[in-house]
Amino acid sequence: MKFTCLQENLIEALNISSHIAGLNKTSLPILNNILLSAKDGELKISSTNLEIAAEIKIRSKIEKEGKITVPAQVLNNYINLLPKQPLKFETNKNILVVSTKNQKAKINGMSAEEFPIIPQIDTKKKYVLNSQEFKKALEKIIFSISSSDIRMELSGALFSFQGKDNQKKLVIAGTDSYRLSEITIPLKKNELKTERNVIVPLRALQEIVKIIKTDQEEEVELYLSENQILFTYQDIEIISRIINGTYPDYKQTIPTNIKTKALLNREEFVRIVKSASFFVKSGVNDINLKFIPKKNQLIVSSLNNQVGENEAIIDSDITGDPNEIIFNYRYLIDGLNNMSGSEVILEIVNDNSPGLIKSEEDPSYFYLIMPIKS
């Protein structure tokens, strides 16, 4: 194998690939490597941890086809420190030689035959999303997904592909059983013309968020097989397994018989909750919200016998019954920080039912938070 490419073209692909290789939790040394494949006039860089895989194509001048695997971190760290100029690569058996005008390194590799086969997914039919809408949607969901593998179905987001023709949409939901977020975004295309639900692992979604550039309005294509999902963006492909299991029927937990509704200034509410957090009970993180419709006031209070107590009054538009509820302040702030617009709506039934937070400006997104029972 022999090829030449620019350092700046190579480094982005190596950063993505080496990160996925670094997620390897197995005892298989080959998974710490990345696969370099020079074929058909292009260089392809592949990495996998057996759950997530990445394949990235970059512009290169291929003089001799071939492939080799080398340690991901070693190659990435070395290339990062090289100047922005053409780099020459050549293999000698299982050794990769990297050369610049003034530097030369030999990196010990392993046979490409030992590298796992990355699943290939049929790309005849696809779902298409706007990249910026998709990135923002994932950012509003992934924080509420469980990071534990105890309940596998909660360690990913539910992707619900819905509708046909002019009503095509993707509904994404995430929960850790203490809070839940849901967002709906339009599908630009639905070539499958079918409705389907799949659970996509949190780690895969985190990688997608990283690779989508905030300053480029492009498309993300999604392809599904029985057990895998493929995301393509620019020249990057992320392949992930789909989590087997049944996602909780969370629609049943969304309160409908709302008793109290408050319209609040989001920034002021966040500030008050943060100040109350200094007086919560350690390990409980409890703050009390008391709704007084007659006075249009929300009273936020917290008490820690060892530290002290705090109480603040927020003037707000409150309708319905007088009410009271206790929330984990961390979960409350998470939800508020992901709301768009200057005002939020907080709806509750009683102190034993989840609270519902929505944006005054964006009806496509909501956040559900379970109360702390007194």
46 contacts: CB under 8 Å, gap ≥ 6: 17, 34, 35, 37, 53, 54, 55, 56, 115, 118
Q: How far is it, in rounded angstroms, from Cα 91 to Cα 80?
A: 20
136 contacts: CB under 8 Å, gap ≥ 6: none
Instruction: Assess whether 189 and 241 both reside in one domain.
Output: yes
- Structure tokens of 226? 């029985």
Give yes or no for a contact between 240 and 49, defined as CB atoms under 8 angstroms apart: no
Q: In the predicted model, what is the mean pLDDT of residues 114-118?
A: 93
| pLDDT for residue 40 is more than 90 | no
Domain assignment present for 120: no
| pLDDT for residue 215 is more than 90 | no
146 contacts: CB under 8 Å, gap ≥ 6: 154, 155, 175, 176, 177, 202
Total number of domains constituting the chain:
3
Instruction: Assess whether 134 and 244 both reside in one domain.
Output: yes
Q: In the predicted model, what is the mean pLDDT of residues 26-52?
A: 92
**Domain containing residue 26: CATH number:** 3.10.150.10
Q: Return the SS3 of 234.
A: coil
Give yes or no for a contact between 202 and 165, defined as CB atoms under 8 angstroms apart: no
- Regarding predicted confidence, which is higher, 374 or 303? 303
Domain assignment present for 76: yes
List, in sequence order, every residue forming a beta bridge with 345; answer none if it has no partner. Answer: 263, 358
Give yes or no for a contact between 97 and 89, defined as CB atoms under 8 angstroms apart: yes
Q: In the predicted model, what is the mean pLDDT of residues 105-124?
A: 93
Closest by CA position to 32, among listed 93, 87, 109: 109
3-state helix, strand, coil in the chain (%, to 5): 25, 45, 35
pLDDT the model gives residue 174: 97
Q: How far is it, in rounded angstroms, from Cα 21 to Cα 269?
A: 42
Average pLDDT of the chain, as a whole number: 94
- Regarding predicted confidence, which is higher, 288 or 217? 288
Instruction: Assess whether 144 and 194 both reside in one domain.
Output: yes
The one-character DSSP state at 110 is: B
Q: How far is it, in rounded angstroms, from Cα 235 to Cα 226?
A: 24
- Angle ∠(236,239,244) on CA atoms, nearest 5: 160
Instruction: Give the pLDDT confidence of 272-296 residue by residue, as tens digits.
Output: 999 999 999 999 999 999 999 999 9
| pLDDT for residue 229 is more than 70 | yes
Phi and psi at residue 60, to the nearest 5°: -150, 155
Domain assignment present for 374: no
Instruction: Give the pLDDT confidence of 46-60 residue by residue, as tens digits.
Output: 999 999 999 999 999
Instruction: Give the pLDDT confidence of 148-196 residue by residue, as tens digits.
Output: 888 999 999 999 999 866 679 999 999 999 999 999 999 998 888 778 9
Q: In the predicted model, what is the mean pLDDT of residues 233-237?
A: 95
Residues of the domain holding 363: 254-369
Last residue of a domain, one of 82, 114, 146: 114
pLDDT the model gives residue 41: 85
Phi and psi at residue 41, to the nearest 5°: 75, 15
Q: How far is it, in rounded angstroms, from Cα 192 to Cα 199?
A: 18
Scanning the structure block, which residue is given the tokens 């360690």?
155
What is the DSSP secondary-structure string of 97-165?
EEE-SS-EEEEE-B-GGGSPPPP----SS-EEEEHHHHHHHHHTTGGGS---SSSGGGSEEEEEEE--G
Q: How far is it, in rounded angstroms, from Cα 153 to Cα 245?
A: 6
Instruction: Assess whether 94 and 160 both reside in one domain.
Output: no
pLDDT the model gives residue 165: 60
Give yes or no for a contact between 2 and 189, defined as CB atoms under 8 angstroms apart: no
Q: Where would I find the H helices in 220-320?
A: 266-276
Instruction: Assess whether 221 and 281 both reside in one domain.
Output: no
Instruction: Assess whether 272 and 346 both reside in one domain.
Output: yes
**pLDDT band at residue 234 under the 50/70/90 scheme:** very high
- CA dihedral (185, 143, 55, 123) positive or negative: negative
Instruction: Assess whether 36 and 64 both reside in one domain.
Output: yes
Q: In the predicted model, what is the mean pLDDT of residues 197-220?
A: 93
Q: How far is it, in rounded angstroms, from Cα 221 to Cα 233?
A: 7
Instruction: Assess whether 245 and 148 both reside in one domain.
Output: yes
Instruction: Assess whether 45 and 83 both reside in one domain.
Output: yes
Instruction: Give the pLDDT confidence of 341-369 residue by residue, as tens digits.
Output: 999 999 999 999 999 999 989 999 999 99
Q: In the predicted model, what is the mean pLDDT of residues 208-214?
A: 93
Domain assignment present for 119: no
% of the chain with per-residue pLDDT over 90: 86
Instruction: Assess whether 143 and 211 both reside in one domain.
Output: yes
- Angle ∠(291,177,358) on CA atoms, nearest 5: 45
Last residue of a domain, one of 250, 269, 289: 250
- CA dihedral (201, 203, 206, 212) positive or negative: negative
Give the lowest-confidence range in 41-55, 189-203, 261-275, 314-328: 189-203
Instruction: Assess whether 102 and 11 both reside in one domain.
Output: yes
Instruction: Assess whether 230 and 200 both reside in one domain.
Output: yes
Give yes or no for a contact between 59 and 41, defined as CB atoms under 8 angstroms apart: no
Residues in the chain, overall count = 374
pLDDT the model gives residue 25: 78
Last residue of a domain, one of 197, 223, 250: 250
